[in-house]
C-alpha cells in the first residue's frame, strides 16, 4: 500500500509495487513523480528525510537529506538587511528577499543523494525503471490539480514573502513552462509540459544520482550560480553527504514511536508525547475545551524548546536526555495542570510547502519520506526543467542563535516521517507536509490512533487545532461553543476558514497485519493498496 498527496505519484508507486519492486523502490518512483507534478512542493533541487524499517534485514534507519548552507555563508552576511520575522512564523524577512528568491537563496540539495544512497543499499528494482513514470508525466504533460493551482496563485506578500508568480516567472524557462501568455500562472485543468525535465530525468536514470553532485548536472548548476552571484558552488555540491542517523524512539501508551532526530523535527513530537502521556486524554473528551488546552500547552512547550535548543547538532548539541526525561515531562505536565501558560510569540523558519509519501510492501518493509523545496527559489538552471530550493530562508539572519546562518550548516526542519511499533512490529507509519504544522498535525493523528482507537482515515480527517504561537488556531469544524469555552480560559482563539487546515497527514496503519491507508482531504491524494 502507498499513500501520497498526488494521484499521479501514487499511481507511479503502485505500478512499481505491482512490478515486484519493494517499498523503497515505490517511494523513489513516487517522489520523482511528485517533483514533476507538484513542482513548487518538491523536486530534484530539494531536501528531505527518509525513514526506513526493513524487518528482513534487521534495519531501522533515518537518512537525513536536509540541505546544507553554502560554504561561502557568513553569520552576519544579512544582519544589516534583517527586517523581522515573517508574521505567520514561516521564515525571516531580509531586504530585497535575498534569502528567498534568486540564486543567493539556494542551499546544497540533498534529496537525490538520499534516494540514490537508499536505493543502492535497500532497493530491489532497477534504478532506471523508477524514472519511467516521472519521465512520462514530464514529456506528455500533466493537469494542474486544485492544490497545485492554489500554490501557483499564492501571494505571500502580506507575510513578507514573494508571490509564487514571482518564483514561477523568475527565469525564462519558468515562464515558458508554468506561465500563460497573459502573464498569469497556468490554471486549474491546464496541461503542463516539461521536456527539459524529462531529459534531465533520463540523464539521472542513465548516469545515477552522482551526475547531480559531481557530473554534468553539477557543472550546469554551478555555472548558473556563478553567472548570477549565487553562493552555491561545485565544491558545495560535491561535498554534500546525507547523514545516516538512529531513529529517536519514545514509548507512548505501551507502543514505541520512532521519529527522525535533530535537525529534523521528531524531537518535538517525542516531547509532546512524553508530556501528554501524563494525562487521561480520553477522560477530557476529544477536542473538548479541556483537551485543546492541555494539548495546545504541550505544543507550545515543544515549540519553545525547539527554538531554544534545536539546530544543526554538529554545532549545537541538543539536550535530548533532559527534554525526554521523566522528570522534565512530569514538570511540564504539572505546570499545565496548575494553569501555567508557555509564552510562544512565534515558531519560525519552516516553510509550509512540502510533500510526503509512505509505503508498506508485502515483505513488511516500511518507508516514509517527507521532502520539500523549502521556499522555492525560482531558480531553474537553464535547460534542466527543475527548480532549486530557497533553503536560506530557514536560517536566522541574526548571529548567535540556534538557527543562525553559517557555512556548511544543516537547516532545522519539522519534517518528521515516523513509524509506530508494537512489541517491535510496525503498526503504523505517518508523514505530513505543512511546515511548523507538521509536528502538531502528526501528534494529533497519533493521539487519534493510539488514545482514541480511530482508523487511519478517521484519525487523519478529524478536526485539528494548532498552537505554534500564543494564540490557538482551530479548524472551522470545531464547534463555536468549544471556541467560546477556550476563550473563556483566557486564550486568543483564531478560527480558520478551512475545514481541513494545519498539515496534510498521510499514513498507513497495519494493525493485525491488515493495511488501512488514509490521505488528508486538504490535498489531492489517496491511498492505494494491491493484493
H/E element, 427: strand 425-431
Give the active site residue among 354, 356, 429, 443.
354
CB 379 within 8 A of CB 102: yes
What does the chain come to in residues?
A: 531
Sole residue written with cell 511546515? 435
DSSP 3-state assignment of 22?
coil
- Residue 13 to residue 28: CA distance in whole angstroms: 8
- Residue 169 to residue 256: CA distance in whole angstroms: 46
SS (H, E, C) 112-132: HHHHHHHHHHHCCCCCHHHHH
CB 43 within 8 A of CB 391: no
- Residue 338 to residue 105: CA distance in whole angstroms: 45
Burial 93-119 (b: 16+ CB within 10 A, else e): bbeebbbbbbbbbbbbbbbbbbbbbbb
Task: Provide φ and ψ at 59, rounded to 5°.
Answer: -110, 130
354 part of the active site = yes
Cell of 300: 507550545
Packed helices 195-207 and 216-227: angle between N→C axes, nearest 10 degrees: 130
Which of these, 266, 312, 305, 310, lies nearest to 411 by C-alpha position? 312
Task: Provide φ and ψ at 404, rounded to 5°.
Answer: -65, 155
- Residue 482 to residue 420: CA distance in whole angstroms: 31
- Residue 82 to residue 525: CA distance in whole angstroms: 38
DSSP, residue by residue, 465-523: EE-SSSSEEE-TTS-HHHHHHHHHTT--EEE-S-SS-S---EEEE-GGG--EEEE-TTS
- Residue 467 to residue 347: CA distance in whole angstroms: 9
Beta-carbon contacts of 338 under 8 Å, excluding residues fewer than 6 positions away, are none
Cα 117 to Cα 127, 263, 329, 374, 420: the distances in Å are: 11, 20, 37, 22, 24
Cα 464 to Cα 11, 470, 507: the distances in Å are: 28, 17, 16
DSSP 3-state assignment of 187?
coil
Residues classed as catalytic:
354
Amino acid at each position: 500500500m502507498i499513500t501520497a498527496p498526488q494521484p499521479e505519484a501514487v499511481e507511479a508507486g503502485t505500478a512499481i509495487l505491482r512490478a515486484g519492486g519493494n517499498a523503497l523502490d515505490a517511494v523513489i518512483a513516487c517522489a520523482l513523480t511528485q517533483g514533476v507534478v507538484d513542482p513548487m512542493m518538491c523536486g530534484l533541487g530539494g531536501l528531505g528525510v527518509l525513514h526506513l524499517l526493513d524487518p528482513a534485514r534487521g534495519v531501522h534507519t533515518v537518512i537525513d537529506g536536509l540541505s546544507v548552507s553554502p560554504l561561502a555563508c557568513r553569520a552576519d552576511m544579512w544582519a544589516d538587511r534583517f527586517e523581522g520575522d515573517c508574521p505567520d512564523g514561516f521564515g525571516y524577512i531580509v531586504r530585497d528577499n535575498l534569502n528567498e528568491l534568486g540564486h543567493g537563496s539556494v542551499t546544497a540539495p540533498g534529496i537525490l543523494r538520499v534516494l540514490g544512497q537508499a536505493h543502492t543499499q535497500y532497493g530491489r528494482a532497477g534504478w532506471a525503471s523508477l524514472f519511467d513514470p516521472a519521465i512520462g508525466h514530464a514529456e506528455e504533460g500533466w493537469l494542474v490539480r486544485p492544490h497545485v493551482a492554489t500554490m501557483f496563485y499564492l501571494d505571500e506578500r502580506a507575510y513578507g514573502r514573494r508571490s509564487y508568480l514571482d518564483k514561477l516567472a523568475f527565469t525564462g524557462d519558468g515562464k515558458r513552462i508554468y506561465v500563460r501568455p497573459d502573464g498569469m500562472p497556468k490554471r486549474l485543468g491546464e496541461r503542463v509540459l516539461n521536456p527539459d525535465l524529462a531529459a534531465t530525468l533520463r540523464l539521472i536514470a542513465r548516469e545515477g544520482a552522482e551526475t547531480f553532485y559531481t557530473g554534468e548536472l553539477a557543472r550546469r548548476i554551478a555555472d548558473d550560480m556563478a553567472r548570477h552571484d549565487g553562493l552555491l558552488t561545485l565544491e558545495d555540491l560535491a561535498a554534500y553527504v546525507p547523514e545516516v542517523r538512529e531513529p529517536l524512539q519514545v514509548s507512548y501508551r505501551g507502543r514505541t514511536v520512532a521519529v527522525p532526530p535533530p535537525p529534523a523535527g521528531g524531537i518535538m513530537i517525542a516531547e509532546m508525547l512524553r508530556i501528554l502521556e501524563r494525562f487521561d486524554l480520553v477522560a477530557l473528551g476529544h477536542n473538548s475545551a479541556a483537551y485543546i488546552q492541555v494539548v495546545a500547552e504541550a505544543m507550545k512547550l515543544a515549540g519553545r524548546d525547539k527554538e531554544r535548543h534545536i539546530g544543526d547538532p554538529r554545532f549545537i548539541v541538543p539536550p535530548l536526555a533532559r527534554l525526554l526525561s521523566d522528570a522534565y515531562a512530569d514538570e511540564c505536565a504539572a505546570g499545565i495542570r496548575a494553569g501555567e501558560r508557555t509564552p510562544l510569540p512565534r515558531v519560525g523558519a519552516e516553510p509550509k510547502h512540502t510533500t510526503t509519501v509512505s509505503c508498506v510492501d508485502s515483505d513488511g518493509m516500511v518507508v516514509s519520506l517527507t521532502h520539500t523545496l523549502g521556499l522555492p527559489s525560482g531558480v531553474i538552471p537553464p535547460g534542466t526543467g527543475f527548480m532549486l530550493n530557497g533553503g536560506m530562508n530557514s536560517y536566522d539572519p541574526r548571529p548567535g542563535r540556534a538557527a543562525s546562518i553559517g557555512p556548511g550548516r544543516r537547516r532545522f526542519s519539522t519534517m518528521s516521517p515516523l513509524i509506530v511499533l508494537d512489541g517491535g512490529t510496525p503498526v503504523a507509519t505517518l508523514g505530513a507536509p505543512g511546515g511548523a504544522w507538521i509536528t502538531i498535525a502528526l501528534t494529533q493523528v497519533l493521539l487519534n490512533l493510539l488514545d482514541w482507537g480511530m482508523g487511519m482515515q478517521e484519525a487523519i480527517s478529524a478536526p485539528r487545532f494548532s498552537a505554534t504561537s500564543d494564540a490557538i488556531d482551530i479548524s472551522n469544524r470545531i464547534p463555536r461553543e468549544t471556541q467560546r469555552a477556550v476563550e473563556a480560559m483566557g486564550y486568543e482563539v483564531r478560527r480558520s476558514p478551512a475545514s481541513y487546515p494545519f498539515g496534510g497527514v498521510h499514513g498507513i496503519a497495519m494493525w493485525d497485519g491488515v493495511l488501512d491507508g488514509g490521505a488528508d482531504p486538504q490535498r489531492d491524494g489517496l491511498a492505494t493498496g494491491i493484493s
